Amino acid sequence: MRHIILTGFMGAGKTTVGKLLAQKLGCPFLDTDQLIQQQAGMSISRIFAEKGEETFRSLETAILKEAWTQEEAWVLSVGGGLPMREENRRLLKRIGAVVYLRVNRDTVLRRLSGDTTRPLLSGGNVEERVDSLLAVRGPLYEEGADLVVDADHKTPDAIARELRKLWDQ
């Protein structure tokens, strides 16, 4: 089995779906945000505040390069901005099958209302921020994906079951 990578906007459910899918497939689950926080010994918000977004983006690329060298199959969920770098999109496709969990702005706003862990959405007008980021990112997520799953009206478990079936075939 090739590795499975979940991409999509903040709030798409990548981590929740990824954990469920890994359970169903009986393989490890990895998450780039978690790995970066462990390695840096600080939260994503602190990395953004103290080291800047560019440093965070470079850590994301470094994690992908490391992950690529591992032989064991796993499910990997990646931060919402990771596929924005062209280099990262290429790496993802080489690593495994890329599944884009697509959600619309209303789903994002509903799921992330009150969230304080995403530096890109803190402060300012969150609706405008989500709209402008989605407009830029949507086409790039699609370009980098092998499969697109519309995730607005499905439970994480239903999506995990759907993906599991595909990988059984």
Q: Which residues bind ligand S3P (CB under 6 A)?
A: 10, 14, 33, 44, 79-81, 118-120
Give the nearest distance from C-beta 12 to ligand S3P in angstroms: 7
53's CB contacts (< 8 A; 6+ apart) are 119
Nearer to ligand S3P, 73 or 84 (CB): 84
Helices within the chain (DSSP H only): 14-25, 32-40, 44-51, 53-68, 86-95, 105-112, 126-143, 156-168
Shortest Cβ 101–ligand S3P spacing (Å): 10
To the nearest whole angstrom, how small is the minimum distance from the Cβ of residue 53 to ligand S3P?
8
Q: By C-beta, is 115 or 165 nearer to ligand S3P?
A: 115
Query: Minimum CB separation from ligand S3P for residue 169, in Å?
Result: 28
Q: Which residues of 62-87 are buried (b: 16+ CB within 10 A; e: fewer)?
A: ebbeebeeeeebbbbbbbbbbbbbee
State how far the Cα of 114 lies from the Cα of 80, in Å rounded to an integer. 18
Q: What angle do CA 148, 122, 109 make, to 5 degrees?
A: 45
Q: Which is closer to ligand S3P, CB of 3 or CB of 137?
A: 137
Closest CB to ligand S3P among 1 and 143?
A: 143
